[in-house]
Amino acid sequence: MAGKHQEIVGEFVRVKHAFGEDDDRVVIAEIRIKDGTLSFPAVVKGPDPHDDLMLGLSYKFVGSWSEYRGNKQFWFKQFTQLEPLTRSSVVAYLCRYCHGIGTSLANKLFETYGQDTCQVLREDPGKVANEVSGLTIEVAKLAQHALLANQRMEETRIQLTELMAGRGFSKSIIETLLKHRRFGLDAAKIIRRNPFSLLVNKVKSAGFARVDRLYLDLKHSPHKLKRQLFCLLDAIKNDGSGHTWFRASVLGEMIKKKVGGTNARPMLAMMLGIKAGYLAKRKDENGVVWIAESLAADNEAVIAERIDELNSLPAPQWPDLSSLVSLTDHQRETLALALSSHVGLLLGTPGTGKTFTAAAVMQALCREVGGHRIACAAPTGKAAVRLTQALQGYGLPLKATTIHSLLFQADEFGQLPYDYYVLDESSMDDTDLTAELLRLIPVGSHVLFIGDPYQLPPVGHGAVLRDMLSAGLPQGELTEVKRNAGRIVQACKEIRTDGTFSPSTRFDPSAGENLCHIECPTSEAGVARLTQLLNKTPQSVNPVWDCQVICTVNEKTVASRKELNKYLQGYLNPGGEVIGETGFRLNDKVICKLNSSFQLVVGKCEMCGHPTCEAHCQECGAKQTEYSERVAKGEIGRITQASKKHLIITMESPVRSVRIPFRANSDGEAGSLGLWDLAYAVTGHSSQGSQWKYVFIMADDSYGADRVSSREWWYTTISRAELGCFTIGKKTAIDRQCKRISLKDRKTFLVERIRETKKPTEVQA
């Protein structure tokens, strides 16, 4: 078995303590271990078994011994129930699992059969019904069925524990498998025969590396085609390049490297994947074979088919553009191009008024058809919040949602209830998300994609906006700059066209010189210069909340996000009270890492008006109403209060406060706090959709940074600044990274699919 673990057997005595919530709950229990004639208590600690531990029953715990405050305790990962033997344990066991058998009848059974009670009842219920008064044959047979099922369940649990323990699978995987319709009581047998069934059925925490290690530990052949196929699927999944399609020859080399020797048969593995429905194949015009995951390939086809289906309809019913008096002639002309069909693209670089122009369209639609027929959405919660604020600033009562939230509004027929769809920040939309949305948009609808084609590509695979643009969908691009003038806009234009930019030698925003480069030979020198710049900000500028540091990579360099946040926390918030062992301080700047719901803090007691952030008012004791509040991934807030049980984080756009509880898991980590991180420095991808008055961009000269940074990365990060931008580091590194165009590198066939799918226009007589 992989990994080291121990087993102890003991009779459950009591729960001493339990803490945490839901899947992160931990129990500390006392058991009694019997060693020959000796009996002594022991403490076990591990994942809460959700009331499965019963007084008097014996259990086998799998884990390891540790020491806590001078006392030994056993950390368990899994446990299994053993056959009961004592009177109290047999009685408790029968009462719990056998319907119709109470304490009195269970005691009679034990008096008759003793330690063999459960075995006799399983093997011959008729005999037991005849020999024990008060027990009917019907109840005896029900008990037999329950005991057989429970015995098999425990046997399977023991077998799964032996298979899973020490291999990094989640603590809940055994219960997940026992409840899974594909595995159930046959789980151990199925997994021993084919560990990759865990991947096929997408069991949580069963990643390729863990499953492959289990496969090899069970002495299966490392050269089997199915293993080569799953190696290939894992390589595609973890590629990170954003490709939808991969050269078959490149994938073949990956398989050869993993399997080794002459045993690698990549072409046969690919054929197996295609036959099984995992993979799709396509040849380009040069006869080169490309491979994609079948779902990714299908989603490309869905996008092409739905766009064609919508744009093949009669003339679209967009508003009369002559009525949009707030727009300039250029904006109306651009809109006319974008709205010439049911699906169109409104494009523009920063400051050209994309949202303002789209808002004018939505104002007209609200007048003509009503706001209830318009859906506004963006790919991330942060972008949706900013779009909502912008629309409200233009007097529109529309609320934008994330595309994921919009999908949940589909009816029982799989159709969304709107006629007009305005989709902002479309450069961030990947292939899978776009396909999922277009599937649900009804025939006859109108869709306007809004985006900047020069920004960073999606985190997921594909480049939908790029491909729709290249395929010739109706499009209009705004080019007149309305805000953010000066060298920032000039640099964005230079990066787009020349792959480099000319920063200013002096910072003078009044003269348009709002982008400066600070040359530094090393990252350490860059961090020192960053400190000086933040220290020189005018009194009217808050170095924490008006400024934002943007970096390239998450870790492994001095200029990485983690290292910068650790340093800037100490520099920008030196007096912040340390909050336990969380790594946070009071007044820290923090970012939400995942779209989540938290309890909204009311602020004042609903009964007496006393300021409170607790579940019960500290003044009058009244219980406060709990409201759930959605916080979007990428939203930034401030830690404003802390207690032993929770933090209060106040968000700024829009302003509201949420309670973040401390929820310890079995590893000692705080559960909900894991959804938050320091935000003094954020990555370029996290900065998308945001604006700050002043932006400081750390140029990283490392290999990892060269893989992440690109022309689009620098274009996106520089354009996050409203008043001023500083790039810090080696200009040669920036120029090198600006030469790489990441959007160009992404291999898709969406353009070809759109052109192939497009129906020929009928010739009018």
Q: Which residues of 329-366 are buried (b: 16+ CB within 10 A; e: fewer)?
A: eebbebbebbbbbbbbbbbbbbbbbbbbbbbbbbbbbb
User: Which residues have a Cβ under 8 Å from the Cβ of 187 and sit 6 or more positions away?
Assistant: 156, 160, 177, 178, 180
Alpha carbons 15 and 30: distance in angstroms, whole number: 6
| Ordered structural domains, the chain, with CATH | 6-82 (2.40.50.140), 87-154 (1.10.150), 193-294 (1.10.10.2220), 313-478 (3.40.50.300), 487-580+672-744 (3.40.50.300)
Rounded to whole angstroms, how far apart are CA atoms 747 and 290?
10
pLDDT at residue 284, as a whole number: 95
**What would the pLDDT profile of 703-716 be if each residue is shown by its tens digit?**
888 888 999 999 99
pLDDT of residue 2: 42
**Structure confidence by residue, pLDDT tens digits, 380-411:** 877 888 899 889 999 998 999 989 889 999 99
Token look-up 């401390």 returns 662
**Gap between the Cα atoms of 239 and 233, Å rounded:** 10
What does the DSSP 8-state code read for residue 585? B
pLDDT band at 670, cuts 50/70/90? very low
The confidence score (pLDDT) of residue 551 equals: 96
- Classify residue 10 by burial, with Cβ atoms within 10 Å: 0-12, 13-18, 19+: buried
Q: Is 236 helix (H, G, I), strand (E, B) or coil?
A: helix
pLDDT tens per residue, range 63-113? 888 887 777 888 887 777 777 878 888 888 898 889 899 999 999 999 999
State the Cα–Cα distance between residues 669 and 311, nearest whole angstrom.
52
Angle formed at CA 220 by CA 216 and CA 224, multiple of 5 degrees: 105
Q: Is 152 helix (H, G, I), strand (E, B) or coil?
A: helix
pLDDT for the residue numbered 259: 80
Please report the pLDDT score of residue 80 as a whole number.
76
Q: How far is CA 696 from CA 491, 511, 520, in A?
A: 15, 20, 14
Q: Confirm if 81 and 59 have CB atoms less than 8 A apart.
A: yes
- What's residue 762's pLDDT? 44
Mean local confidence (pLDDT), 510-527: 94
Q: What is the pLDDT of residue 466?
A: 96
Q: Give the max Cα distance, the chain.
A: 103
pLDDT of 4 over the 80 cut: no
Query: Which pLDDT band holds residue 622 (cuts at 50, 70, 90)?
Result: confident
- Distance separating alpha carbons of residues 398 and 379, to the nearest angstrom: 17
Beta carbons within 8 Å of 345's beta carbon, 6+ residues apart = 338, 426, 448, 449, 450, 451, 465, 468, 469, 473, 474, 475, 476
pLDDT of 666 higher than 50: no
